[in-house]
Amino acid sequence: MSLRAWHQRGAGRSDLGVADVRQSEVSGAFGAAGADTARTRFALVRIGLWLMAAVLAVRQVAAVLRLPPDERLIDLETWVGSEGVLHVSGSLYASDQFTGTPFAGMVLRPLTRAAEDALGWGWTFGTLLLVVVVALLAARALPGPVSRRTALLAPPFAICLLMVSLPVRNTLYLGQTSVIPVLLVLLGCFAVRGQRASGVLVGVAVALQPTLLLFAVLLWCTERRRAALTTAATFLACTLLAWAALPSDSSTYWFHHLAGAGLGGDPAALANQSLHGALLRLGLDGPVEIALFLLLAAAVAVTGLRRAVRYARDGQLLLAVALTGCVAVAVSPTAWQHQLLWLLLAVSGRMGRRDSARPMWPVAVVLVMTLPASVLVPDDVILTPIRENLVLLAVVAAACVLPFFSRDSVFYARPIPTDSVPPGPTRFRRVPLLPVWRKVLTRPNLLLELALIRVGYTAYSEIRTVAAGGRDTAEKHGDQVYSLEQFLHIDVEHWVNHAVVKVSWLQDFFDFYYTTFHFFVPLGILGVLYARRPVDYRWARSALGFGTLLALVGFWLYPLAPPRLMPDLGFIDTVHGVQDFSQPDYGALTALTNQYAAMPSLHFGWSLWCGIVIVALAPKWWMKALGTLHPLFTISAIVATGNHWILDAVGGAVVIGTGFGLVHLLSGPRPRTIPAFAAAEDARATARASAREHEHAQGLGGAEPGSGSGGKSGTDGSGPGESGSAEGGDHPEAPPAHASQSA
């Protein structure tokens, strides 16, 4: 296969796909006016993405340069600074601070003076420019068919994704050079013409990072043997050149440190996301660990490279490059955080038969590569191995496990559409419905929902803690609220608090209710809605999210001391015990949570949300009655325990009510009619019939190229959290015949 054909196969764009998108942009149910509106929205989205990319780039540069000189570009300073290892006359590896190859040391040593003079601005802006080039190359290399919209939005989106990723942030902060090998490989695979030039660029990348020699195998197996031979020759030439210039350092690196395996920090540290690091963290050591590491590395290398070759022959060259890079990360003795860019390129793989499951893999990669593992995985002893090796698990899954579709699969370009109903009329003429907010009739992907709930709750906890105000301000606001309640004659908190304390069983009941039901009841309702009422699950979940977000604004703007933390008022803290008002922070409790996040009360707000959902959706009258009791018990508990004022509950009701109102305003009435479900069923049947005809006509539809069975067995080609019709595709039960048109 020629180089030009190799490029065209991977980066070519389907004329049919572009024509379809252009046709859909011009025509449609709304005619020319609708097409003009769609083009305007698309232009605004594109401009917004480029502005976001620019803002993120400026923010990353500012975040590095505003640090004190001795706290930024730490690794670069240890290399090329006035006291760096590249200035000394002895061995580069005398102190284990320099982790690069001898060739990297030979190249960097002449640049020490220039790098030292521009240790801040020059190096940071240069690295930023390289990151932008990597993003543009990756966006250009997306496998076809790629629509015109995707081709225009991919570059700014890729830049935004790289800018917020942990590898790039870590690279900018430490002053590392790990972006250069990735850039050289992408240039060699997608930019230059000629196999020799491609091999030279990849060979230089291998000379900087030896585990990238796996790309020579990829080139050889995809009929680019001249490029593969040139890669190996270039790597050998660079290594011999460095050996001639630095013989002692080369011997130390290749033999004493086993190709750099013993350099850098502790290989058992969490930052080392390789198989070697994972085994060390599990407590293995010595010959047993080495033997197991070599066995696992060989298995991952063989499996991952075979998959990469298949996808390269299928035309998904960017995915093949990403999988090969993931294999290199996994089998490397040390794979630090700034070397994990390859996983981000794997978002080009497509999986999930249904339209609703298609975002699962990209979202998972974005979460893993932008957030710490502690945010995604709960701090539990059982989950410690997963939390410590989360990135490694994602890398191995991408390289060896996940069933990405081949381009010949009927589901590659056209997944089964998500059932939805047409948007209804807008509530107000000047407030249009959100064009991206569809009334979907099927449940969302379970793993994606759990991940988003976990991230959302972590963000809520962090913001709630950070938004703490000063004690004086909080107590001043407490006096304001108490005075207003006295004016309104609703200041019953003191009487209720002391009355409950006199009845021990009643105090125990309210303490238990306050500390337990706040989380379990909303989670239980969400679980039931997800399993039995997916349409209503989306409606209720969105309202809860809006209400919680508004509550965080209230915590930030109006820190409020609850009754139990108001001196001289005589309230009794029945849950936490007696507070020491002589201490500025009332003891250790403040270190765990923001005790001034009281207005509005989410205890009551979430309970009111539960009551509204139960009353609106429960089929039996006694269920509705129980739903009304939960908010009543909750407001009694928060007042009896001294944790909230009456007006805090009013604030909680306001934010939750506003949340329901925003959902209704931006998405229209809640769909719950039999005609809507019937229309969705007709659309589902039509889509399935079309897919079956296309699949039978071509005899394709497998999850992987060359898989033969077309993905009919096992997971049935579905993405994570999707198996047959049990995940992401169950049709919700039709509502009763007397259901009204809208909520």
The pLDDT tens digits for 355-396 are 878 888 888 898 888 888 888 887 778 888 898 899 999 999
Residues 729 and 83: their CA atoms lie apart, in Å, by 62
Question: What is residue 167's three-state secondary structure?
Answer: helix
Tokens read off for 112: 């020490």
Q: Model pTM?
A: 0.72
- Angle 111-113-115 (CA atoms, 0-180°, nearest 5)? 65
SS3 per-residue string spanning 294-347: HHHHHHHHHHHHHHHHHHHHCCCHHHHHHHHHHHHHHHCCCCCHHHCHHHHHHH
Would you say 356 and 440 are in contact if contact means Cβ atoms under 8 Å apart? yes
Task: Please enumerate in sequence order all residues whose Cβ is within 8 A of that of 184, keeping only pairs 6 or more positions apart, or say none.
Answer: 201, 202, 204, 205, 208
Closest by Cα among 237, 218, 221, 228 to 195: 228
Task: Give CA–CA dist 290/608, Å, rounded.
Answer: 57
* Dihedral sign (CA 370, 375, 377, 382): positive
Gap between the Cα atoms of 717 and 723, Å rounded: 8
- pLDDT for 306 equals 95
Tell me the C-alpha distance between 375 and 562, whole Å: 29
Could you list the beta-strand ranges (E) of 386-517: 420-421, 439-440
pLDDT, residue 379, reads 78
**pLDDT at residue 127 in the model:** 83
Phi-psi category of residue 411: left, alpha or beta, with phi > 0 → left and psi -120 to 50 → alpha? alpha
Cα–Cα distances (Å) from 606 to 510, 546, 603, 645, 653, in that order, read: 17, 12, 6, 16, 9
Cα–Cα distances in Å, from 468 out to 463, 582, 586?
9, 19, 14
Per run of 10 residues, the mean pLDDT along the chain (length 743 residues) is 46 40 40 63 84 87 75 62 53 63 70 53 80 92 83 89 87 80 92 90 91 93 92 92 82 70 74 89 88 94 95 92 94 84 91 83 88 81 88 93 91 80 58 58 77 75 64 84 89 87 87 86 90 85 90 86 82 72 48 71 92 90 89 91 90 93 77 49 60 56 44 37 37 37 32
- What is the chain's length? 743
**Residues 724, 726: Cα–Cα separation, whole Å:** 6
Enter the tokens of residue 61: 């540069």
Which pLDDT score, from 0 to 100, does residue 218 have? 94
Q: How far is CA 710 from the centre of its chain?
A: 30
What is the C-alpha to C-alpha distance for residues 727 and 743, in angstroms, rounded to an integer? 26
Q: Could you tell me if 544 and 610 are in contact, meaning their C-beta atoms sit under 8 angstroms apart?
A: no
Looking at residue 517, what is its pLDDT? 86
Assess contact for 340 and 395: CB atoms under 8 A. yes
